Amino acid sequence: MAASNDTISAGALEAIFTDKDKAAREYPVPILQCLQIKPMASGAQGGQERYRLVLSDSRHFVQAILATQSNHVIHEGQLQVKSFARIKEYTTQNLKEKLIMIILSMEVVESMGIPDGKVGAPVSIEQVRTTTAPAETTIKGNDFYGVKQEPTTQPKQMMPTRPAATPGDPIYPIESLSFVLNKWKIRARVTYKSEIKRWHKANSEGKLFSVHLLDETGEIKATGFNDQVDQFYDTLQEGSVYYISSPCKTNTAKKQFNNLPHEFELTFMQETTIVKAEDQSSVPQVKFNFCTIEQLQSVEKDNTVDIIAVLKEVGDTTPINAKDGRSFSKRDLTLVDETGFSVRLTVWGKTAENFEVQPESVVAFKGAKVSDFDGKSLSLLSSGTMSVHPDIPDAHRLQGWYESAGRGGNFQSHRNAGMGAASGRSNPVKTIAEVNALDINMLSDDGAPVYYSLKASILYCKPETFAYASCPNCRKKIVQNTDGTWFCEMDQKSFDKPEYRYIMSLSVADHSSQQWISVFDEVGRVVFGMSANDLMELRENGEQEAFDAAFSGIVYKKFTFKCRAKKDTYQDVPRIRHQASEAIALDFKAEGNRLAELIKKYDINA
């Protein structure tokens, strides 16, 4: 134990909280002992874990919060109770009248080992800010280590982060911002600035704008309301770097309006300070997390992605009328990449109207929303960004591929690829009884599905509702006018006739049980062996016998259905929906051989 006493930074905590010059001079990288580790409640569903610590220098102990970028020391089992760590970067805060440390970077000192108990007899660092310390510290059994009951006293002035990034206030990484920090300063680049949006309600009206702020560690959304729109909108320019200092409200991110991964977001206040930085090059321009077009097949709808691809085709601008009467524009782009897949990406509003990028350009999109309607497609959100020929390795690689091999290539869309083939995802074969035994409570509330395959026979399909009238262009549902033509609200166009597409429920069964599954156009074509247009034509032409024969002809047909089970809510009641994405006719010879091989495994003479 003596070796630990010699190495631990005895007296460091008092210096850190009372004498910054002494702390920097005598304890530049203090070594402290960890006395307690406790998880904190996450501020948002799916948010990153956060941990509270108690750290000791053998004379004093202090409560600490571990920044999420250092969570790995706990997740990897490096930091344990009674182990020692070098505190490489930290800051201090006065949180609810308690002195705490925010640990931004730490390193476990494995060479010091883990002693049997705590080193020394540390007392709370709270005592350094009282002129007369209480005779003893009482710690309740159900309290967090070191929380004691004592009268509120005036704290000494808090110390800034060590080391300071500028001669002024210290710079905090964006990744460390959370509700526990009440005084901070960041240096960040504005990667996106919205237009000013106005709202009018029965009891209020106002305006707002938002920006995305980026540094080397992460990206966070910040919003200004009303007076702060006038105060900061013209100051903040997209692409520029600024010093932004609290006070600033920190709230849990509202993911329905925020596509950034940070679990918190900021709201500007009147006292918030924003100053343009002289050094505009020290912060990255933009941070991408690309997925390929092929990988889109495994991305759930409504998620956002970053994607880089070659622009293959540029569609015309199309006017759209929203349900509230507003008019705006859209334009469809076709993107391809070296995986051999293509995808449609839609841009909106001024981006669509002012789009001048030439085909065969390499374009990087940040913040594109994924849709699974009719395969996979993308929509660039209003907060999304687009970079043409970005000077990054991914862009140079794509340009070289396209010029050497991609220009004359054939590309597959997710609409035609089938869910299993494109993603390479495992769809384990299950019986219907096994699928029906799925516990709804085991399925994710965020809609993440469970994938499986069924070998089943069709029992029934309702002939009354098997297809819908769709727009030949966008495939959305269209309505019939009084003059017999068909109108698409999305494209604002009329058509002489619709394109019918399958949407129906099939009752299927195997040896174990029965189940209803939903299917769409690709599966319907395989099941019926004809298009929905052809089947609808039989009914409209009065060919009832042929129409009935088409439905009776699918009964007892056997297929391998690639399916997914997904949790949703109908009339406030949770349920499991089963949807088939692919149907493959059974190869009875191959199935027979598979069963024969399976039987051989049980042959004791084999």
The answer to whether 532 and 543 have CB atoms below 8 angstroms apart is no
In the prediction, which pLDDT does 426 show?
55
Q: Do domains 294-414 and 426-592 have the same CATH topology?
A: yes
pLDDT tier at 175, thresholds 50, 70, 90: confident
In the prediction, which pLDDT does 404 show?
87
Does pLDDT of 433 surpass 70?
yes
**Residue in 417, 408, 418 with CA at minimum distance from that of residue 312:** 408
More confident position, 199 or 4? 199
Does pLDDT of 94 surpass 60?
yes
Kindly report, residue by residue over 539-583, the tens digit of the pLDDT. Answer: 999 899 999 999 999 999 999 999 988 877 766 677 788 999 889
Mean pLDDT to the nearest integer, 226-241: 93
More confident position, 566 or 358? 358
Mean pLDDT to the nearest integer, 342-363: 91
Of 141-155, 436-450, 539-553, give the range with the top mean pLDDT. Answer: 539-553
CATH of domain 426-592: 2.40.50.140
The answer to whether 450 and 565 have CB atoms below 8 angstroms apart is yes
The answer to whether 519 and 579 have CB atoms below 8 angstroms apart is yes
Q: CB within 8 A of 235, min separation 6: which ones? A: 242, 274, 276
pLDDT tier at 4, thresholds 50, 70, 90: very low
In the prediction, which pLDDT does 323 show?
57
CA atoms 299, 300, 306, 312: torsion sign: positive
Sequential DSSP letters for 260-294: SS-SEEEEE-TT-EEEE-S--SSS-S----B--TG
Alpha helix stretches (DSSP H) within 454-520? none
More confident position, 445 or 194? 194
Kindly report, residue by residue over 274-330, the tens digit of the pLDDT. Answer: 999 888 877 777 778 899 998 888 888 778 899 999 999 999 888 877 655 667 788
Give the span between the Cα atoms of 16 and 226, in whole angstroms.
Answer: 40
Of 26-35, 123-132, 251-260, 401-410, give the range with the top mean pLDDT. Answer: 26-35
CATH level 3 topology of 294-414: OB fold (Dihydrolipoamide Acetyltransferase, E2P) (2.40.50)
Does pLDDT of 441 surpass 80?
no
The answer to whether 577 and 566 have CB atoms below 8 angstroms apart is yes
CATH number for 174-276 (one of 2.40.50.140, 2.102.10.10, 2.40.440.10, 2.60.40.1250): it is: 2.40.50.140
More confident position, 179 or 348? 348
In the prediction, which pLDDT does 218 show?
84
Give the span between the Cα atoms of 331 and 370, in whole angstroms.
Answer: 16
Give the Cα-Cα-Cα angle 536, 539, 540 (nearest 5 degrees). Answer: 85
Determine which helix (DSSP H) or strand (DSSP E) holds 13, and give its type and residue range: helix 12-18
In the prediction, which pLDDT does 415 show?
62
In the prediction, which pLDDT does 72 show?
87
Give the span between the Cα atoms of 334 and 55, in whole angstroms.
Answer: 56
Q: CB within 8 A of 261, min separation 6: which ones? A: 218, 219
Alpha helix stretches (DSSP H) within 27-134? 72-75
Kindly report, residue by residue over 97-143, the tens digit of the pLDDT. Answer: 678 888 888 999 988 888 888 899 899 888 776 533 333 322 223 33
Cis peptide before 247 (omega within 30 of 0): yes
Strand partners, 200: 205
Q: Burial, 337: exposed, middle or buried (Cβ in 10 Å; 0-12, 13-18, 19+)?
A: buried
Does pLDDT of 488 surpass 50?
yes
Strand partners, 488: 493
The answer to whether 331 and 317 have CB atoms below 8 angstroms apart is yes
The structure tokens listed for 595 are 């069963």
The answer to whether 458 and 506 have CB atoms below 8 angstroms apart is yes
Of 315-319, 491-495, 523-527, give the range with the top mean pLDDT. Answer: 523-527
Give the span between the Cα atoms of 573 and 37, in whole angstroms.
Answer: 40
Q: CB within 8 A of 6, min separation 6: which ones? A: none
In the prediction, which pLDDT does 269 show?
94
Give the span between the Cα atoms of 467 and 533, in whole angstroms.
Answer: 9
Per-residue CA distances from 514 to 68, 241, 435, 457 (Å): 48, 61, 10, 10
Mean pLDDT to the nearest integer, 200-213: 88
In the prediction, which pLDDT does 135 show?
33
Q: For all residues of the chain together, what is the average pLDDT?
A: 82
CATH number for 2-129 (one of 3.90.1150.10, 2.40.50.140, 1.10.3720.10, 2.60.120.20): it is: 2.40.50.140
Give the span between the Cα atoms of 540 and 549, in whole angstroms.
Answer: 15
Residue spans per domain, the chain: 2-129, 174-276, 294-414, 426-592
Does pLDDT of 87 surpass 70?
yes
Kindly report, residue by residue over 20-63, the tens digit of the pLDDT. Answer: 888 889 999 999 999 999 887 554 444 567 888 999 999 999 98
Sequential DSSP letters for 343-363: EEEEEEHHHHHT--PPTT-EE
Q: CB within 8 A of 211, min separation 6: which ones? A: 190, 192, 193, 194, 221, 222, 223, 236
The phi-psi region of residue 349 (left if phi > 0; otherwise alpha if psi is between -120 and 50; otherwise beta) is left
Does pLDDT of 418 surpass 50?
no
What's this model's pTM, rounded to 2 decimal places?
0.46
Amino acid at 176: S
In the prediction, which pLDDT does 212 show?
93
pLDDT tier at 434, thresholds 50, 70, 90: confident
